Amino acid sequence: MTERVSPPEARKPKPDLSAGIAAGARVYTLDGAIPIEFLEPGDRIVTRSGTCKLKALRAGDYVGALIRISPGALGHDRPGAPLLIAQGAQLMMRDWRVQVIYGKREALLPAQSVVDGHYVTLGQGRARLFVLEFETAEVIYVDGVEMAAAVASVDA
């Protein structure tokens, strides 16, 4: 009797892309706005708290619910280009609506909560998604939009 063993790549868990950002989105770094797919661990990313070294970049092909944010939908030049993200992504919102609804100057909101059916739409699709991970939770800038970034996971 022979035992079938999977190659190591097949045994790795797939990355959680539920808060992913689609290829082509530009992330603000100390070297300027760089397409997310060209980032590497160690790159210095601009965050709300200053700059942080990127600890890990997880990527994968995703099929499912995606949110498309039209240019300018979240403020002047926010985003500066169409932005495609997974519905689990979180956006830092700071405008009068946040003050009225939440009683705060700013709030980290699920991207799905800003879907309006016109400028921010929810649909089904396929995309190459990326998740940036840092030592601590951070808010990064993606095409001018403030988004939550994950804390690096520990690989077994």
**71, 84 Cβ separation under 8 angstroms:** no
Chain segment 107-121, per-residue pLDDT in tens: 999 999 999 999 999
- What domains, with CATH codes, occur in the chain? 16-151 (2.170.16.10)
Q: What is the pLDDT of residue 8?
A: 54
Average pLDDT along the chain? 91
Chain segment 74-102, per-residue pLDDT in tens: 988 899 999 999 999 999 998 888 899 89
Q: What is the pLDDT of residue 77?
A: 86
- Confirm whether pTM is higher than 0.85: yes
**57, 132 Cβ separation under 8 angstroms:** yes
